[in-house]
Amino acid sequence: MNRKSNFLTYLLALIPGVGYMYLGLVIKGIEFLSIYLLLEPVLGLIGFGYLAHILKTVIWFYTFIDTIHVARRIDNGEFVRDEEFIFKKFGKDINFENSSGLNRKGWVAAGWIFVVIGILAILNKMFNTTAF
């Protein structure tokens, strides 16, 4: 792997996920960038928007520090595998008939999480008295 610029690595690590993509870890980068960008709208939709800033700060610090750590590993000649960080249990085998129970259970759990988020969003919109 070609040596990357340390300055650009630090600069791009300021945006969660973009530093990973610069280092060649596109899957991990897209995953973190998507989570970072969607966190506030989703939590705001269900009435927990105040938590978004706290969680986004944690994600920002984690991705910044981890991007610098991964860059050092790559500079030392270590092979760093580009794989999912959050969703690795969900997407390995989408064919439910031939999949293991763990993957099916992961997709079912993700589905239920989205159902609960949807219900909370509807309830928040129905009973929200503020003019946001």
Whole-Å CA distances, 33 to 21, 37, 94, 98: 10, 6, 23, 31
Whole-angstrom Cα distance, residue 82 to residue 27? 6
Which amino acid is present at 101? G
pLDDT reported for residue 130: 59
For the segment 33-48, the average pLDDT, to the nearest whole number, is 87
Residue 18 contacts residue 29 (beta carbons within 8 Å): yes
Predicted structure pTM score: 0.68
Segment 27-41 shows an average pLDDT of 90
Q: What pLDDT was estimated at residue 113?
A: 81
* pLDDT per residue as tens digits for the range 50-75: 888 999 999 999 999 999 999 999 99
Residue 36 has pLDDT above 60, yes or no: yes
How far apart CA 103 and CA 88 sit, in angstroms, is 9
Q: Give the residue-averaged pLDDT of 20-31.
A: 90
pLDDT at 11: 92
pLDDT in tens, 79-121: 988 877 666 655 554 454 544 555 667 767 777 787 787 788 7
